[in-house]
Amino acid sequence: MRTIAREIPARRDSVEGNTRMRAGNQGNLSPAQVEQYDTEGYLVLPDLLTEQDMAPVRGALTEKVDRIAAELVAAGLIDDPLTDAPFPVRLARLFEGLAPEHFLEFGRSWRDRIAGYHTLMSNPKILDAVESLIGPEIFSNPVYNVRPKVPRIAAGAVPWHQDKSYWPDANSNPVITVWISFVDATLENGCLHVLPRTQKQKVLPFHQEEYSGTGFLTVDVEGLAAGKSRERALPVRAGTAILFNDRLVHSSTPNNADHVRWSVDLRYQPTDQDPMPEHGAGFLARSRRHPQRVADLQDWLAGRPEHADEATAPS
Ligand SMILES: O=C(O)CCC(=O)C(=O)O
């Protein structure tokens, strides 16, 4: 099978090194938005996704919650799978009488292959925004997380960190996170917080936190010159996307509401970078050079990084 990154170029650690990749892009961000992303390290795209865009993802999340409810019933931990409970509260109510450990058995975040997630990762609005930042040859990085931030459960709070701490040796730059909320993300339910401009620094020393038992990595923000004082909370409506650089220091607070703060974070990078196979199988999400190679749903479900139909592949 062909692989995406046949030749990985020398490491480029500069976040300014994107100009070449942006050449010829047809993305939809304005110059001011690109400037905001470059300068501050993040960009908020309010209401990027409509209810129609979000429906396949909510369908995938519901499918997952159905599976969890069935497991809890089978284990004798609950009697009622709460099938008719509204989407934002159902998972929270399923775990209401259970311990955080019961929840953590299902993982602090999920990376299932359910069709609705592929629909999201391939959404042209998301790819148009990413194209403005890295050009039209776009690889969907294997690291994506569905985050069910459930009230009262320690795993809900994510400590200050840089995403790059999770792949310090990967020769992949830039990696862009696209974080999308599927309910309104508020101060109460634990929205994202960022330290603007911290993306311009090298990867900071990090360690594993010990409070949640989830193995989150964290950095010491008190030691960051002027870092913490610039903290910005980013409450957003459902369907809003927050794009950020994988060196931007960010966190989120615990969920003190009565419903789940559902979000999904996706990652994209140029195709000539390390595809990080040790983290799973990413896929070719957009290519103007080789559109016929873009992975479709069946390729993604099978873990193939490119479309595998040799009949349509160029020689
Ligand atoms: O969704 C959250 O609470 C944290 C997200 C995050 O840390 C990330 O996307 O890298």
Q: Is residue 7 part of a domain?
A: no
Residue 1 resides in a domain: no
Torsion angle in degrees (nearest 10) through CA of 219, 225, 230, 231: 20
Give 188-241 pLDDT, tens digit per residue.
Answer: 999 999 999 999 877 888 888 776 667 788 888 777 766 677 899 999 999 999
Handedness of CA 155, 157, 159, 164 (dihedral sign): positive
Give residue 151 CA to ligand 1 midpoint distance, Å. Answer: 16
CA 249, CA 247: separation in Å to the nearest integer? 6
CATH number of the structural domain spanning residue 59: 2.60.120.620
Q: Is residue 22 part of a domain?
A: no
Q: Per the domain annotation, does 183 fall within a domain?
A: yes
Q: Could you tell me if the CB of 265 is within 6 A of ligand 1?
A: yes
| Residue 212, in any domain of the structure | yes
Q: Is 141's C-beta closer than 6 angstroms to any atom of ligand 1?
A: no
Structure confidence at residue 226 (pLDDT):
64
* Residue 189 in contact with ligand 1 by CB distance below 6 A: no
> For ligand 1, is residue 162 a contact (CB within 6 Å)?
no
Q: How far apart are the CA of 191 and the centre of ligand 1, in A?
A: 9
For residue 29, how far is its CA from the centre of ligand 1 (angstroms)? 23
Ligand 1 neighbourhood includes 262 CB (under 6 angstroms): no
Q: Which residues pair with 181 in a beta bridge?
A: 263
| pLDDT tens readout for residues 89-113 | 999 999 999 998 899 899 888 999 9
> The pTM is what?
0.90
Low-confidence spans in the chain with pLDDT less than 70: 1-25, 154, 211-213, 225-227, 309-315
Q: What is the pLDDT of residue 118?
A: 98
| Tokens, residue 43 | 């960009």
Domain that holds residue 220: 27-310
73-to-68, 85, 92, 112 alpha-carbon distances in Å? 9, 16, 15, 21
179 lines ligand 1 (CB under 6 A): yes
The reply to whether 48 falls in a domain is yes
**Helical segments of the chain, H only:** 19-22, 31-40, 51-74, 87-94, 100-104, 115-121, 124-134, 297-301
Task: Report the alpha-carbon distance of residue 125 to residue 239 in Å, rounded.
Answer: 12
Any atom of ligand 1 within 6 Å of the Cβ of 236? no
Whether the Cβ atoms of residue 2 and residue 306 lie closer than 8 Å to each other: yes
6 in a structural domain? no
- Alpha carbon of 132 to ligand 1 centroid (Å): 22
Position 19 scores a pLDDT of: 56
Could you tell me the sign of the dihedral formed by the alpha carbons of 300, 305, 311, 313, in that order?
Answer: positive
Q: What is the dihedral of CA 193, 118, 129, 139, to 10 degrees?
A: 100
How many independent structural domains does the chain possess? Answer: 1
Q: Of all protein residues, whose CA lies closest to atom 7 belonging to ligand 1?
A: 251
The answer as to whether 172 is a domain residue is: yes
